[in-house]
Each structure stands twice: as C-alpha cells, then as structure tokens.
Amino acid sequence: MAISMMNCKVEVSVNGSTWINLPEANAVEVSGGDRQSADVFFFSQQYAEVVFGPLEAVEVEVRGVYTEGASESFEIVRQMYEGTYTGQTDSKVYVRWSPRGTGAGKFIYTSDAGAITAFTWPGGEASAEPVVFAFTVRTPKITKSVQA
C-alpha cells in the first residue's frame, strides 16, 4: 500500500536523545549516500574493471512554513544553525523523521550527528504564497528503525 507523507513527524536534536518536534515542517528531501565507484581500464581488455568504495555523506533538507513564535520551528532551527540553542555545545545536530507519524511499529529515520550546512532565511514575493524556510543537515548516514 502506498504511503503519504501527510502524517510525517520531523524532529531535531543537539544531543541525539532529547528531540524537538518541528510541527511547521512540510517537506523532507534526502540526497547523497551514493557508493563511490571508479572505472579502471587496461590495454588488453575491452571492458572496464569497476572498483567500489565507501558510501558518500547524506544530506537531509527540511522545509517548513515560517512563523514568528519564540518556540516554533524556524526559531529553534535558527538557533541550532548559529550554535546558540540551549544545551548546544558544538555544531552537531541530528534530524529524524517518521513518514507515517508516531506509533508502535512505524518506521523512523534518524541521522548520525551532522551539521546544518545550509539555512534559508525567510523571503519571498508580494503574493498569497506562505513564507517558508529550509535547512540542510549533512550527516555520515541515516539509520532506519522501528518505533516501540
């Protein structure tokens, strides 16, 4: 059965154990994580030998609707980006998301410690479109687990 991201829950953390919900988040895009590979050619062969290496880093982009409350998603992420979030001792940030929301038996995807490498400040045009923000966490890997 197909799954919609309609009930997705997105959270961030500065320590990997205390998680902060981002209810204004409305999109998660994951890129990277490709396995490195290279072709090696020899004079006596018509086809390449393919060699493989490690997996590349993963980038998780989260987008959300901009709001101006002191404890809302934009402000929490801005402080983490700037390294001023309460209890933050370095630039490490974790992100996790559960496509089907919370509940026993549902999958959750959690990053290793990474850093916010891109942060989009609010902006836009004079229109009815909502103001949005975005941030990207670059991390070594994502781990899939099942919620208890």
* Partners of 78 in the β-ladder: none
Q: Which residue has the tokens 């990207």?
A: 136
pLDDT digits (tens, 9 = 90+) for 93-112: 999 999 999 999 999 999 99
> Is it the case that residue 135 has pLDDT exceeding 90?
yes
pLDDT of 127: 94
Beta strand spans in 33-93 (E)? 35-40, 49-55, 58-65
- Cβ–Cβ under 8 Å, residues 19 and 6: no
What's this model's pTM, rounded to 2 decimal places? 0.90
Please report, rounded to a whole number, the percentage of residues in the chain having pLDDT higher than 70: 100
Rounded Cα distance between 138 and 116, Å, is 6
Span 19-37, mean pLDDT?
Answer: 96
pLDDT of 69: 87
Span 6-22, mean pLDDT?
Answer: 96
In this structure, the chain runs to a length of 148
The model's confidence at residue 1, banded by pLDDT at 50, 70 and 90, is confident
Task: List Cα–Cα distances, 62 to 35, 41, 104, in angstroms.
Answer: 23, 41, 24
